[in-house]
Structure 1
Amino acid sequence: MGTVTPFPLPTGRQPSQIGFERVELTRILDLYGRMVAAGHWRDYAIEFSRDAAIFAAFRRATERPEIRIEKRPDLRNRQGMWALVNEQGMVLKRGHELGPVLAPVERRLMKLIEE
């Protein structure tokens, strides 16, 4: 009863957009919630496109995002499909798994809580 079967795509055809899986989005939103509770972030945005799914976190709604968490499945076999990008667009961390890519933000959260 609880099994969800994905709709099959024709072979050789890419999905029309990339998205986050429930476990991935839960992990990202958990981190976001802790950063909001620490008083650091106040807003977020999610973008789904043909190439990537992007979660952006903002200190204030009128600024550029402080960080972006990007999922690009095309890079899965090369550098890893996950990337942490800073406000200037520089890639801070890239990897095959979400946990290690989020580690720098979680370390910053620990510093915010200690202060």
Structure 2
Amino acid sequence: MNAPTPFPNQLPTQTAFHRTELNAILSLYGRFVSAGEWRDYGISHFKDVAVFSIFRHTAEHPMYRIEKRPSMRLKQGQYVVLGMEGQILKRGNDLRRVLRVLERKLIRAVD
């Protein structure tokens, strides 16, 4: 009988954003905060999805959600930006390209 391995190869118990992913998201977030558009954020980590929620005010529903779903990597893309009503604004495997849908809104807000 084989002895159990001390560190079995298991999938992570939760999905999380990597440091480089958070840097890209927080860079965009900081520009919107300085423009006065966004005021708060929240990060949630679940088994199959990591969510970065963006709020205009703390006590309301998020304006936007940036989600990472690794299970969708080979299908429609693991990153998605969702609007307040849950509509998909942009989806893909390149986070910076997906975030461009929000950058366009910043350009309009500054004009």
* TM-score, length-scaled by structure 1: 0.87
Show the 5 A alignment for 1:3-42.
Answer: 10-11=8-9, 13-42=10-39
Q: Size of the alignment, in residue pairs? A: 105
Q: 2:4 — aligned with what?
A: none
Identity %: 46
Q: 1:82 — aligned with what?
A: 79
Show the 5 A alignment for 1:1-115.
Answer: 10-11=8-9, 13-114=10-111
Q: Which runs of 5+ in 1 are unaligned?
A: 1-8
* TM-score, length-scaled by structure 2: 0.90
Q: Which runs of 5+ in 2 are unaligned?
A: 1-6
| Distance in 2 of aligned mates of 1:87 and 1:10 | 40
| Distance in 2 of aligned mates of 1:14 and 1:89 | 28
Which amino acid counterpart does residue 8 of structure 2 have in structure 1? P
User: Runs of 4 or more off by more than 6 Å in structure 1?
Assistant: none
| Distance in 2 of aligned mates of 1:64 and 1:52 | 18
Which amino acid counterpart does residue 76 of structure 2 have in structure 1? Q
Tell me the alpha carbon deviations over residues 32-69 of structure 1, each in whole angstroms, 9 at most, x when there is no partner. 01000000000000000101110000001111100000
Aligned-residue Cα RMSD (Å) equals: 1.0
| Distance in 2 of aligned mates of 1:97 and 1:52 | 16
